[in-house]
Amino acid sequence: MADCPPPPAHKACPAAKACPPLVSCPPEKECPDTRACAPCTTADTLSDADSKGGSVAAGTGSSAALVDWARRLAVPWGPLLTQREAQRALCYGSGKRLQEVAAKLMAGKPIKVFTLGASVTRGIGTTDRQYSYASRFFQYINATFPHRKHTFINRGIGGTSSAIYSVCAEHMVHEDADLVVLEFSANDQRDVPYSHPERKGYEQLIRKLLKMPGRPALIQLHHYAWWHAVGDGVEDGGLFYYPAAEAQLGVFAQYYDFPSLSVRAAMWHLMRARVDQFHPDATRLGATASPTNVTIPGAEPGTEKAYWYRDRTHPGDEGHGMLAELLAHVLAQAVIEVVAPRPRLHLAARDADLSAAQDDDGLPLPMIPGNAATPTTLCAIEEDFEGVVSAHAGDFSYKPEKRKGKNFVEQKWGWSASQPGSWVEMEFDTESGFEVLPGTSPAAVAAAAAAAAAAVAAPAPNGSSGNATVDAADPRAEVSLSYLKSYRGMGVADVACLSGCACEAHVLDGTWAAEVSLQQVLQFSVTRHKRCRVRITVADRAGVVPQEGHKVVLTGLMVSQFSVRLTTYESQVGVLHKATI
C-alpha cells in the first residue's frame, strides 16, 4: 500500500482546546496550541503484527484510538515512576517481535509469558509474592488484555545465574512461548571476556529462545543492587554508577534486537539524591552490612517505605512494582507503535540479501564466533531431580532445606546426607541426542574421539572399567552436577563412574568461607553410554574450608554436548547476596 497522502493544503490540524483525558500537562509547560495529525495505519505497517497476532481493528491510527489505549494501558496498582524515568530505563531496538505480541493481545488472543532469573525474579524482597515484579507484570497483562487462557509462568530460582537456564531453556520454557523476560545481571559474572564460558552460555540461552517455534519476544531486565556496586578501585559503600554485568549483557540485546530495561538508568540519580521511596541508606528488614563490610542501618519504624531496598540486595514491594512498571512501559510502547506507527522518515524497507550474516533459522550469526546453541540431552532440576537417583544408602534422602517455604522452589528440595559413607547412585543417558555442531573442525572431532577412546581403555575409579562403549566418531558428554555450597556444617563427596560410562574421579567440595549459600556446579566429562551410572559418596574428611559437619546437598543433574555455563563463581561470592530461597 502507498504511503499515507499528505492532508490538503487548505486543511490544517485543529487547535487543541484541552489535553485529552487522563493525560496531564507537565507543570512547567502549557498545553500545546496545535497537535500533530495522527499518521494513518497502512497494511504494510501491520503485516508483521498480523503474522502472529492477527489484524488490528480498523481505525486504530486515529486520535480517538490513541486516547482509548492511553486509558487502557495505565498500570492497575497506580504509577510509581514518571514517564521520563521509565523512558530513561529503556533501550528499545526496533521492537519487531514485541509489536507482534502487542498485536496478538490487541486482537483478543491469549499469550504465554515466562520470567527467567534469580532471587529478584523469584520475588525476594516482597512482603508477599503477589507484589513481586513478575506477579504484577502478569496482573498488568490480565487487567489490560483480559483473557482466561493467558499463561504466566515464573521460573525464577534464587542463588543462580543464567548458566542453568542456558542448558535447560528447552525444559523450562514452552516452545510456543510468546514473551520471555530475562533478569540475570545481578548474579552473572561482571567483567569477563565475551569468550568466557558464562558469556557464551548467555548467548546460547538467547539463541535457544529466539529459535523456539513460537518465536518469542525477549525483554532484558537489569536489576541494580546499590550496595554491591563496587569496583574499579571504588569501595565507598556503593556510591558508584558501576554497570556490573549489565554493560556486557546489554550488548547481546542490541545485537539480537530486543529491548532492555535498566533500574540503574531509571533510578540511580533518585537514589543518590535520597528521594523518598528511593533512599538506599537503610534497609526495611533491619541493620545489615554491605559486601564491603559497610554498616547499613535498619529503617526507623514507620519510615520503611522511604527506602527502596528491603535487604542489602532486593527491592521492597514498591521497588518490585517499579520493575513491573518498566515492563509495562515497554509493552505499552509496542502497543502504541501498532496503533500509530512511527512517522515515515526513513526507507520503507531494504531489499537486501542478509543470508551471509544469518543462520538457517534467520537469526544473526553468533555474536561470539562459533558459539552455536548446543543440544541438551538431560535437564533434571527441581521436581525432576528426585527420579534420577536409582539407589542410595546411609542417611541420603530427598528432602527440603527450608520446610516452611511457600512452594517447591522456595523449599529447596534436594538429595542430602550428613553421615560419611552415605552414597547415592544416579543412572542416566549420556549417548542420545548428540550431533557434530556446524563449524566443528575435523581435527576437533578426531581429538574428542581419541580422548573418549582413551577413557574407555583406562581403568575407571574403584578398579572398574565401567563397561563403557563409545562411538569413536563422537565426543564425550559433559555432566553437570549442581550442589549447595555454604559456610556452616558442609562437607565433601567423592564422585566416580561405576558402570556403563567412564570418567576421572572428582571431588565435590561444599565448603567455603564466604557467608553465602549458593548453588554451584561440578562439571566432568564422561564417555557416552545409554546407561551411565555415577556414585556420589560423602567423605570422612574436611573440605578446603574445614567446618563442623559433613553435609552434602545435591540439587540437579544436566547432560549436554558442551560444558554448562557455570553459575556463580567463588571469585565473585563476596559481592553476592545470601540467597534466601
Report d(CA 120, CA 132) in Å as an integer: 8
pTM value? Answer: 0.72
> What pLDDT does residue 137 have?
98
> What pLDDT does residue 43 have?
30
Please report, as a single letter, which amino acid is at residue 100: E
Among 63, 500, 462, 119, CA closest to 309: 119
Report d(CA 581, CA 577) in Å as an integer: 11
> What pLDDT does residue 408 have?
64
> What pLDDT does residue 231 have?
56
The count of other CB atoms within 10 Å of the CB of residue 370 is 13
Contact of 389 with 572, CB cutoff 8 Å: no
> What pLDDT does residue 152 have?
97
Ranges under pLDDT 70 in the chain: 1-62, 230-240, 242-244, 373-375, 407-410, 433-475, 561-581
DSSP codes of every residue in 167-192: HHHHHHS-TT-SEEEEE-TTTS-SS-
> What pLDDT does residue 475 have?
65
Domains of the chain: 43-339 (3.40.50.1110), 376-561 (2.60.120.260)
Please report, as a single letter, which amino acid is at residue 424: V
Strands (E), 155-249: 179-183, 217-222
Give φ, ψ of 101 to 5 degrees: -65, -45
> What pLDDT does residue 461 have?
40
Among 524, 523, 494, CA closest to 508: 494
Contact of 380 with 558, CB cutoff 8 Å: yes
> What pLDDT does residue 405 have?
73
> What pLDDT does residue 168 have?
83
> What pLDDT does residue 243 have?
64
Cell 565426543 belongs to which residue? 475
Residue spans of alpha helices (H) in 340-473: 408-411, 442-457
Report d(CA 174, CA 153) in Å as an integer: 10
488-502 pLDDT, tens digit each: 999 999 999 999 999
